[in-house]
Amino acid sequence: MGTGTRTPLVAGNWKMNGALRESRDLVAELAAGVGQGGRAEMLLCPPYVYLAAAARWLEATPIALGAQNLASEVDPGAFTGEVSGAMLADVGCAYVIVGHSERRTLYGETDEQVVAKFRAARTAGLGPILCVGETLEEREEGLTEAVVTRQVNAVLGTLGAGVLASAVVAYEPVWAIGTGRTASPDQAQEVHALIRGLIAAQDATIAAGLRILYGGSVNGGNAAELLAREDIDGGLVGGASLDASQFLTIFQAASG
């Protein structure tokens, strides 16, 4: 696991899953299982409509709250269907996922929009979780490094390394998301080291403190070997975050 002072982060991305009661029960189980917390930090990212309720359920717990997306616009206005970073902060979010591959591929988010959302998150005082990762075709064509470099540099080049001080990066190979096919610890470590190196070239201190999460079919059975690697500082977990015992096992692996 990441060395030095980096606090491991285990984040659950619920995606478009759950219902009000089911979500409340899941949070209650996680809160009971997490106790007073551990060496790691736990974060839950429910759908927008459950955020305000989740903030109340999480009040007396060490578990943090985040959103899955935000508007690129900062000021309030005529943006039907959008939710601003300020609104997310207002209901108790500390983090927000930016540039998830599902947003990039299903909703056509470009690097430019991702940068705008990253900036909007920072303006609202939220910690952006910047997602990057290659598709299967890109990996097979040997383009992994080029794709991840382009996605990281979109933010670094426009906003500078300083903006990563309160941010998190998540490496999520698209071919590993929801497929049951996890990147091997070696494959993940290689890309995590690449990401840290890109940032270190601009600011070594920020790079050393940056948490880089792995995401893509993380579960209770494979978390420990992934988290054991030097540059893997936690997980961004989809499917397994909907199952309290799986998610707690991952959290314990990160806390150990």
Tell me which residues are annotated as active site. Answer: 100, 172
Candidate residues 216, 227, 229, 254; the one interacting with ligand 13P per rule CB under 6 A: 216
| Residue number with CB closer to ligand 13P (110 or 179) | 179
CB 71 within 8 A of CB 82: yes
CB 24 within 8 A of CB 57: yes
| Residue number with CB closer to ligand 13P (18 or 86) | 18
Is 129 among the residues that bind ligand 13P (CB under 6 A)?
A: no
Report the alpha-carbon distance of residue 111 to residue 95 in Å, rounded: 19
Is 238 among the residues that bind ligand 13P (CB under 6 A)?
A: yes
**How many residues in the shown chain lie near ligand 13P by CB under 6 A?**
14
Candidate residues 128, 215, 220, 234; the one interacting with ligand 13P per rule CB under 6 A: 215
Candidate residues 8, 13, 43, 124; the one interacting with ligand 13P per rule CB under 6 A: 13
DSSP H stretches of helix in the chain: 20-34, 51-57, 85-90, 101-106, 111-123, 136-140, 144-159, 185-200, 204-209, 223-227, 244-255
Indicate the burial class of 112 (C-beta count within 10 angstroms; 0-12, 13-18, 19 or more). Answer: exposed
Is 239 among the residues that bind ligand 13P (CB under 6 A)?
A: yes
Q: Interface with ligand 13P by CB under 6 A: which residues?
A: 13, 100, 172, 177-178, 215-218, 236-240
